[in-house]
Each structure stands twice: as structure tokens, then as C-alpha cells.
Structure 1
Amino acid sequence: MSTGLPPREDLVGALSWKMRRLSGETVLFHQAIADRLGISPTDLKCLDLASAGPGPITAGRLAEVSGLTSGAITGVINRLEKAGLVSREQDPNDRRKVIIVVSPSVPDRVVGLFGSMTDSMTELCSRYQDHELALVLDFVSRAADTTHQEAAKLQESIRTSTARS
């Protein structure tokens, strides 16, 4: 019985290619946003991570969740601070730690740059029924988790090979 769909391997191949294209377009979009803010895309992603929690994040935790070294995080924080997007404060509970505080101006300065994209994605979602959106959400969530796990594997293999050198 024919489903009218291409063979599974063709679908998986096409999906893989489109995911690569989406990834590339997303990198270019974030580069454009970062350029507008005078920072790098890595800085922008770290700003997003620092903004994601209920409160400030330590520099060490930011390094951990971003997968960057402590030295690289220092550079990121320096650039974000210079751009007026974050500030450093001493952790009141542990003076050895530095807390990264996201500037109150970030929502106006950064979120506004995503406004058109948000509107376009809302329009795109309107073309799909709720059950279809739930399926897409499940796939994208699992793809993000898989990508995170694969990045962690790569980072670990780099650390392991560097330690052996």
C-alpha cells in the first residue's frame, strides 16, 4: 500500500539537508544580530544563557553551560561588559566567585532585534494545526537535546586528546 510519500531514506536525507540549511541560516541570523550589538555570535549565545535563569549566573557556571573554557568565558564577559550588556559583581556568599548580572537594558536592546523574526515565525506556525505543531516541537526538542549531547562528546574528546598530548 503506497503512502504517496518518498522512500524513508529520501525523507531522512532531505530532512538532514534542511536541518543543515536551517542551522546555517540560524548562524547567519545570529551573526547579524551580534553585529548590530557589536559582539560575536558566541558572546550573543552566552548572553542568552546568562539571561535564561531566574537570576544572575556565576562565570564558572556560564563556562560550564556554554562548554567554553574559563579563559574564553573571561573574554566573552569582557566583551559583553564593554558593550554594556552585563556587569560583574562579587558573589555575596563566596567572594571568590563572580556573578554575571544581565543589564536591565537587554530586553529593549536585544529582544527588539528579534521582533521581525518572532512575527515571521508566528505567521509560519499559523499554517499548521496544533497536532502538527506538537509533532514539530517534539522533533525540534529532541534534535536540540541530541545536538547538545553530540557537542558535549566532541568537547570531551578534545579535552581527552589535549590531556594526552
Structure 2
Amino acid sequence: MSSDKQTLIGELGTAIMRWQDQTQKFDELVGHIYGLGPSERLCLSFLVQGPQTASAIAREIRLTPAAVTTLLDRLEQRGYVRRRPDPTDRRKVMVKSAAAALELVEAVYAPLAIAGAAMLDRYDVAELNIVSRVIRDSMEIQEKAARELAERGEPRSR
């Protein structure tokens, strides 16, 4: 591998790490301003994909079903989520974003999406395909690393 390529790979690795840090800082600020903890923010982010069952939410945000029930109670009281019976299986309850969550997305995340779309519009289709592939591949690496770390079960304190 050429030293130019190694240098660029190192710079990209650092840039991705800084991007993750900036995203976390932004989300923490959103949480501070809107009074949402990390699990609540993860839940609301997951619900952007559409209605979910409480068990799917629990798996996604790595909480016990009892903890998710408490979390959903808090979010429902604040107008962020609604629980409704599943129309195809009355034994299931579906959780969906409610007005307050949609307002938060519109106020806080929509401007980011608009700015991001304008930035991405500067690139041609071939470049966007590369960026998309890098992001998907990076997510796979991170998901695998998280699974391995969870399986290893590092001690919480030393």
C-alpha cells in the first residue's frame, strides 16, 4: 500500500471518529434541551422507521422489556409516542411517533437533513455510491465490533 493511500486511510479514520463525536455531542445537546435520555433518544430515532413493537424497541436499544415499558410510559406522557393495538394481531401493541416527536424532528433534525442534502447534491452519482458504500460498510464493522464486545463482556470497573 502506498504511503499516500495509508495517509488518506488514516485521515478518513480520524474524520469518521470525529463525525461520530460531533453526532454524539449534537444528540446529547438535543437530549439536554428536550429532557431526553440516551435510551429515549434511541427509541425515538428507531421509531422514525415506522411503528414498532415494544419487544423490537427493547432489542434495538438493548433494554429489558420492563425497562422499555417504563420508558414508553414516560415518552407517552410527554406526547412523544402513542401505543395502539396491532391491526393484524390484537395481542400486540404497536408504538409509533406522536406529535411531540414529529415536532422535535421538524425543529431539530430537519434543518440538518436539508443542509446534508444540499451538501450531497454537490457530488455526482458515482461519488454518492462510494459514500453510501463506505457508510454501510462502516456500520457493518461497528455492529460486528459491538457484538464482539458484548460477547466478551468487559468488566465495568477495574
Change (3 A) 1:141 1:32: same
Query: Could you list the runs of 5+ residues in structure 2 that have no partner in the other structure?
Result: none
Q: Tell me how far apart the structure 1 counterparts of residues 73 and 25 of structure 2 sit (CA, whole Å).
A: 23
TM-score (norm 1): 0.76
The answer as to 2:25 corresponding to 1:28 is: yes
Check if 1:154 corresponds to 2:149.
yes
Say whether the 8 Å CA contact 2:79–2:99 is kept in structure 1.
no
Q: CA RMSD in A?
A: 2.8
Q: Which residue in 1 is equivalent to 2:122?
A: 127
Amino acid at match of 1:127: R
- How far off its partner does 1:71 sit? 4.1
- Calculate percent identity across the aligned residue pairs: 25
Q: Name the CA shift for 1:69/1:146 in 2 (closer, same or farther; >3 Å).
A: farther
| TM-score between both structures, scaled by the size of structure 2 | 0.79
Q: How does 1:113-124 map to 2 (within 5 A)?
A: 113-124=108-119
1:145 aligns with 140
Give the gaps of 5 or more residues in structure 1. none
- Cα drift, residue 110 of structure 1: 2.0
Q: Which shows bigger deviation, 60-69 or 18-27?
A: 60-69
* CA distance in 2: counterparts of 1:115 and 1:51, whole angstroms: 12
Partner of 1:52: 49
What is the number of residues matched between the two proteins?
A: 154
